[in-house]
Amino acid sequence: MKLKIAVLAGDGIGPEVTQQATQILRAVAELGGHDFTFVPGLIGGTAITETGSPLPTATLDSALECDAVLLGAVGDNKFNALPPDKRPEAGLLQIRQALGGFANLRPSIAYAALSESSPLRPEVTKDVDILFVRELLGGLYFGAPRWWNKETNEAINTMRYTRDEVVRVARVAFELAAKRRRKVTSVDKANVLEVSQLWRATVTEVAKDYPSVTLEHQLVDSMAMHIMNIPRNFDVVLTENLFGDILSDEAGVITGSLGMLPSATIGGAVNLYEPVHGSAPDIAGTGKANPLGAILTAAMILRHSANLEQDAKAVEQAVHKILDAGYRTADIARGQQPGQTPVSTQEMGKLVHQALAESIDRRQAMHAV
């Protein structure tokens, strides 16, 4: 298997966690006899410092020539005085739009070993496995007109969707649900917003093509409560850009830390992969960053761009094994609980690497028998 991956480490802790993720991908390539090529590029604040642009043309051109893009994180407060379209975050929005991925997949899984890391009771989070499918190229984030008139103290953003935009992301959600527990929960605000009324009507129409999948609708405000109270009731959660951003971050409470959450953006010319957490510049370089979100993002590259499902599962199982063994970065450690071993970013990456190598070696040995 050949795969060319653009690696855009970005700002803050981005380079640290991305390094651990690429090392896992290199291990999979070496152990499985695959040919993975990694192409570095600049984005965000580091790109502004070196080139004056949050997304240099060279970075975008290189990314479009790759099979996948692995992004670390963007953002740094020292650029806050710049106009919005010149800040690091603008580079992220620009590359999302240029690559064309419209479906953002965000898993939220309750790890038994981290049950005490969540403020929710263990009986609430037990066995939770939610996959958010967030529409990524429409809604308030990209709708026009948008402006801020500082003279009149007035600002406007536009929430806008077309039927075709809703259809394509809804089909992704139903296809994924058909391979899971066969339930889609579509989230909107149809009691108030015309855009949500279009969304609900369109999703209902698409559901007719998937008779084996159950569809339910939830209003976004009640859904925010249900995710905290009855998260096991949900399988695939489908929603628009803004609601998906908020709800999937809220679901980080289930896992215990945003540092555990991966994501994949599919459907465009090149799939874009990035952990959900931000750049966290306050802990950059301290060894406190949790690389597991980035490592689990690497597993999504293996699943969705390389079609290496077994290897993707092996990475995820390695993460489970290390957590079950009690290894913790600062964000998922809880007090002086017995059985916990504090580790740095790099140490956590090495532990997952070792567990992965052992898993793949066992699998290959079984095949050789």
The predicted pLDDT at position 302 comes to 98
- The two structure tokens encoding residue 202: 């369109």
Active site residue 249: yes
Q: Out of 245, 288, 321, 331, which one is annotated catalytic?
A: 245
Q: How do beta strands 154-156 and 183-188 pair?
A: unpaired
Kindly list the averaged pLDDT for each block of 10 residues, start to end, along the chain of length 369: 97 98 97 96 97 97 98 94 92 94 96 91 95 96 94 97 98 98 98 98 98 98 97 98 95 91 96 95 96 98 96 96 96 81 97 91 59
In 3D, which of 242, 29, 57, 61 has the Cα closest to residue 140?
242
Active site residue 324: no
Tell whether pTM > 0.85: yes
The dihedrals phi and psi of 189, each to the nearest 5 degrees, come to -135, 55
Q: Per residue in 142-172, pLDDT tens? A: 999 999 999 999 999 999 999 999 999 999 9
- The two structure tokens encoding residue 74: 């963007």
Q: Out of 189, 235, 288, 311, which one is annotated catalytic?
A: 189
The predicted pLDDT at position 200 comes to 98
- At position 323, the amino acid (one-letter code) is L
Active site residue 127: no
- At position 109, the amino acid (one-letter code) is I
3-class secondary structure per residue, the chain: CEEEEEEEEECCCHHHHHHHHHHHHHHHHHHHCCEEEEEECCCCHHHHHHHCCCCCHHHHHHHHCCCEEEEEECCCHHHCCCCHHHCHHHHHHHHHHHHCCCEEEEEEECCHHHHHHCCCCHHHHCCCEEEEEEECCCHHHCCCCCEEECCCCEEECCCCCCHHHHHHHHHHHHHHHHCCCCEEEEEECCCCCHHHHHHHHHHHHHHCCCCCCEEEEEEHHHHHHHHHHCHHHCCEEEECHHHHHHHHHHCHHHHCCHHHCCCEEECCCCEEECCCCCCCHHHCCCCCCCCHHHHHHHHHHHHHCCCCHHHHHHHHHHHHHHHHCCEECHHHCCCCCCCCEECCHHHHHHHHHHHHHHHHHHHHHHHHC
The predicted pLDDT at position 367 comes to 55
The residues facing 40 across adjacent strands are: 7
Q: Out of 4, 249, 313, 350, which one is annotated catalytic?
A: 249
Active site residue 126: no
Q: Out of 85, 209, 221, 361, which one is annotated catalytic?
A: 221
The predicted pLDDT at position 365 comes to 57
The predicted pLDDT at position 117 comes to 86
The residues facing 137 across adjacent strands are: none
The dihedrals phi and psi of 106, each to the nearest 5 degrees, come to -130, 100
The residues facing 239 across adjacent strands are: 134, 187
Q: Whole-angstrom Cα distance, residue 141 to residue 241?
A: 7
Active site residue 361: no
The predicted pLDDT at position 256 comes to 87
The predicted pLDDT at position 140 comes to 95
The predicted pLDDT at position 334 comes to 80
Q: Whole-angstrom Cα distance, residue 282 to residue 240?
A: 31
Mean pLDDT rounded to a whole number for the chain: 95
- Residue 326, Cβ neighbours under 10 Å: how many? 15
